[in-house]
Amino acid sequence: MIMTFMEVILTRYVPLSLFIALILALGAFVLPAQISAESLLQGAHAVTSSMPKSCRACHRGMRMAIAGEEKVCFSCHGDAAERSMMQSRGYLVGSVELADIKTVLNKPYNHPVLAVANVHRQNETLPEDQLKAPRHAECVDCHNPHVVSKENPFAGIPGRRVVNAIVDIEFEYELCYKCHADSANLPGDSTNKHAEFKVTNPSYHPVEGEGAKAYVISLKDPYKARAERPGDVSILTCGSCHGNDDHNGPKGPHGSNYEGLLTENYVTADGYSESAFVYALCYKCHERSSILGNESFPEHARHIIGQTSPGGGTSCYSCHDAHGSSKYTSLIRFNEDVVEPSRDGRLEYKQTVGVALSGSCTLICHGVEHVERSY
């Protein structure tokens, strides 16, 4: 949100209750037009036919101060009982359908909105630069309640650095990078997502830009390596894979019953019998029959189904990274929990330059050694 000098002075130095009272009482008359109630509040929450009490829908109580925790949002975006209370008190009117985000956040894999409290600070800057800072995610980290709209749920969230200024984010991934890229406090088992998705990598799923490969045989409609016809989809979002497992429920990365906060099931461990469900996430976009028909990697079926089927399968995860690979083509990144270096200490994948569907591996996997084993 770009603030005028007056707004900064007012928001920083005038107590909130006084500020809101000032705006409401004097608004359009005395203060410059930019800080009238109407202009501070835009988008979905500024629609007075559904929220006639304006600021007071959220800034309630004597002090009107607000902490940026989820409780205030749940009064309308939570369960039906709370919502009808807001309706009976006249804060919410009309017949708008509001999503129940609270129930979704209670699913087993989620953003820790409910679990973490009192860490978010107004005017904090993300990505976090303190190594030991506790991690958090609140509704207001991803949605600016003063300007959020149905068309742009993250409108007015600052985040993108352009030279020395911080400007509002434009793409969903920029929002996610505020906490999943350069943050000094990333958990130990987590990686910098920008490093995985950047378009200078040898391979990556196409989120920041179109993919490294111009043709990928297994892709299902409407997904394409290159968008050529209207309706072709060659750019994904984080939300293509992360979000609610209930596809008719509220959209967004609030919670899922699938591990990894994924929209579809995806088993990362080896030893499962292959099925449409086990690798459902990948098969949403990549034709299962093409993968198992070895149309791209001649050894796919042997690994994925396994030689001692049932129960001998290798997960895609043992060979591929779902985000990108800074080292290899074809999203190859070996899962080092199961793949070790060969006896002479090499862990390598080589794709034969200029020859389609040809390469070699040097490694030990489940006790089986490959030394420049080619295909």
Within residues 105-124, the interface with ligand HEC by CB under 6 A covers 109, 111-113, 122
The answer to the question of residue 333 lying near ligand HEC (CB under 6 A) is: no
Number of residues that bind ligand HEC (CB under 6 A): 120
Q: Which two tokens stand for residue 265?
A: 């099931």
Q: In the range 294-323, which residues lie near ligand HEC by CB under 6 A?
A: 296-297, 300, 303-304, 314, 316, 318-320, 322-323
Question: Across-strand partners of 165?
Answer: 162
Nearest distance in Å: CB 168, ligand HEC: 14
Q: Which two tokens stand for residue 108?
A: 């087993």
Contact 318, 335 (CB under 8 A): yes
The answer to the question of residue 104 lying near ligand HEC (CB under 6 A) is: no
Residues 94, 117: Cα–Cα separation, whole Å: 32
Contact 157, 143 (CB under 8 A): yes
Closest CA to 247 of 238, 257, 259, 260: 257
Would you give the DSSP letter of residue 219?
B
- Judge if the upstream peptide bond of residue 310 is cis by omega within 30 degrees of 0: yes
Contact 34, 7 (CB under 8 A): yes
The answer to the question of residue 267 lying near ligand HEC (CB under 6 A) is: no
- Report the residue from 93, 225, 227, 301 that binds ligand HEC according to the rule CB under 6 A: 225
Nearest distance in Å: CB 250, ligand HEC: 4
- Report the residue from 329, 347, 360, 364 that binds ligand HEC according to the rule CB under 6 A: 329
DSSP H helices, 244-355, are 280-283, 288-292, 300-305
DSSP H helices, the chain, are 5-13, 16-30, 37-40, 71-77, 80-88, 101-105, 139-142, 172-180, 193-197, 280-283, 288-292, 300-305
- Report the residue from 155, 156, 265, 266 that binds ligand HEC according to the rule CB under 6 A: 266
Near ligand HEC by CB under 6 A, which window of 63-71, 162-170, 336-344, 366-374? 63-71
Residues 313, 368: Cα–Cα separation, whole Å: 14
Nearest distance in Å: CB 333, ligand HEC: 9
Near ligand HEC by CB under 6 A, which window of 160-168, 276-284, 339-347, 366-374? 276-284
Neighbours of 278 (CB within 10 A): 18
Site string for ligand HEC, 17-56 (x = CB under 6 A): --xx--x-------------x--xx--xx----xx--xx-
Near ligand HEC by CB under 6 A, which window of 161-169, 179-187, 336-344, 366-374? 179-187
Residues 56, 343: Cα–Cα separation, whole Å: 68
Nearest distance in Å: CB 160, ligand HEC: 13
Residues 360, 370: Cα–Cα separation, whole Å: 9
Q: In the range 115-174, which residues lie near ligand HEC by CB under 6 A?
A: 122, 126, 135-137, 139-143, 145-146, 148, 150, 153, 172-173
Q: In the range 180-209, which residues lie near ligand HEC by CB under 6 A?
A: 180, 187, 190-191, 193, 197, 203, 205-207
Q: In the range 67-86, which residues lie near ligand HEC by CB under 6 A?
A: 68, 70, 72-73, 75-77, 86
Q: Compute CA distances 355 → 6, 331, 350, 375, whole Å.
A: 64, 18, 12, 11
Nearest distance in Å: CB 176, ligand HEC: 3
CA dihedral 19, 23, 24, 25 (to 10 degrees): 100
Nearest distance in Å: CB 203, ligand HEC: 3
